[in-house]
């Protein structure tokens, strides 16, 4: 099963499907919400939109295509050729569909429009980033920094856009800039959530006088492994065994029931984990 999932994650069909679907989701809200409200979407497409507003030169889709050329050179040099071709597919899908799709989503309130745009655009962007490519543009830089320095993709996106909107204050009304900032802040959160939703888990620590019995019950009923960590109590200096296990949200309540049914004096500690890789969990992504 794990090998099948790995093969699917690296298959051309799966990656192209994610890229095309995610790109179309982004274009729907770019044309349906951002364009009617004149939002600056952020990233290189935001720069393309700003150039179009100020100069009326070409249109955002074609300007975006031109600005992506140096980004793809960086992607080829610092990531991989496969990453370059998948990112090129995303960029071409956005550029071409932006010319074809003509839709307006009837949201009149600017705040509501900013929230809706950010949430849906971030979802589409996150879907593309779950592939072995990117959305092109500033996302190429985000992937490079994430691979080299573990800098969050959503954080880079928001930082890049803050610089862009600081420049926009010289050309656009403050209300429009603030609405655009709200939109990209929500988009950054949606991107991070979309990227982490399948790799986020719970890590539980269990301190009990019956660690082996609990471990056997968990392995028998939940079909998952546990790790026994040797520990020493600080007050009495007694040797103890701490159980550690990584599980999903669905299994958490069942684990709690097993622990306290076995030992009602056990100490049960749960922490959020945001990136669990390896073993039976998500595999490390290789671009």
Closest CA to 45 of 97, 95, 115: 95
pLDDT (0 to 100) of residue 7 = 60
pLDDT of residue 256: 92
Q: Long-range contacts for 214-217 (Cβ within 8 Å, ≥24 apart)?
A: 214/243, 214/258, 214/259, 214/262, 214/263, 214/266, 215/243, 217/258, 217/262
HSE-up of residue 79 (Cα within 13 Å, Cβ side) = 29
What is the H or E stretch that residue 86 is in?
helix 81-100
Note the residue count of the chain. Answer: 287
Which residue spans of the chain are classified as CATH 3.30.70.120? 201-273
Secondary-structure class of domain 201-273 per CATH: alpha beta
> How many Å apart are CA 269 and CA 51, to the nearest integer?
53
* pTM, full prediction: 0.73
The torsion angles phi and psi of 155, rounded to 5 degrees, stand at: -65, -45
Q: What b-and-e string marks burial along 12-37, b requiring 16 or more CB atoms within 10 Å of the CB? A: eeebbebbbebbebbbbbbbbbbbeb
- CB 157 within 8 Å of CB 122: no
Alpha-carbon gap, residue 94 to 84, rounded angstroms: 15
**Is residue 2 a contact partner of residue 139, using CB atoms and an 8 Å limit?**
no
Phi then psi for 34, rounded to 5 degrees? -65, -45
Question: pLDDT in tens for each of the 287 residues of the chain?
Answer: 445 555 655 688 989 999 999 999 999 999 999 989 988 888 888 898 888 888 877 778 788 888 888 888 888 888 888 888 998 899 889 888 988 888 889 999 999 999 999 999 999 999 998 888 888 888 888 888 888 888 877 788 778 888 888 888 888 888 988 998 899 889 888 988 887 776 667 899 999 999 999 999 999 998 888 999 999 988 888 889 999 998 887 788 899 999 999 999 999 999 887 666 666 565 656 65
* Per-residue pLDDT at 283: 61
What pLDDT score was predicted for residue 9? 59
Q: Residue 2: what pLDDT?
A: 47
């Amino acid at each position: 099963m794990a090998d099948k999932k790995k093969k699917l994650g690296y298959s051309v069909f799966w990656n192209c499907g994610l890229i095309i679907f995610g790109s179309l989701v982004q274009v729907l809200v770019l044309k349906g919400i951002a364009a009617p409200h004149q939002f600056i979407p952020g990233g290189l497409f935001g720069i393309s939109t700003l150039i179009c507003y100020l100069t009326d030169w070409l249109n955002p889709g074609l300007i975006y295509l031109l600005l992506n050329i140096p980004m793809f050179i960086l992607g080829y040099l610092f990531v991989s050729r496969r990453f370059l071709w998948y990112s090129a597919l995303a960029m071409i899908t956005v550029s071409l569909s932006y010319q074809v799709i003509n839709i307006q989503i009837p949201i009149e309130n600017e705040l509501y429009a900013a929230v809706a745009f950010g949430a849906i655009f971030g979802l589409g962007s996150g879907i593309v980033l779950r592939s072995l490519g990117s959305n092109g543009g500033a996302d190429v830089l985000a992937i490079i920094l994430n691979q080299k320095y573990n800098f969050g993709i959503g954080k880079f996106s928001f930082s890049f856009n803050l610089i862009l909107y600081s420049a926009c204050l010289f050309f656009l009304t403050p209300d429009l800039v603030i609405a655009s900032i709200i939109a990209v802040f929500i988009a950054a959160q949606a991107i991070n959530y979309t990227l982490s939703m399948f790799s986020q888990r719970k890590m539980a620590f269990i301190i009990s006088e019956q660690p082996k019995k609990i471990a056997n019950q968990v392995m028998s009923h939940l079909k998952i492994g546990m790790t026994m960590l040797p520990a020493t109590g600080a007050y009495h200096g007694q040797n103890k065994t701490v159980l550690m296990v990584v599980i999903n949200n669905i299994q958490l309540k069942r684990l709690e029931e097993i622990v306290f049914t076995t030992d009602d004096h056990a100490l049960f500690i749960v922490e959020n984990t945001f990136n669990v890789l390896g073993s039976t969990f998500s595999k490390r992504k290789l671009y």
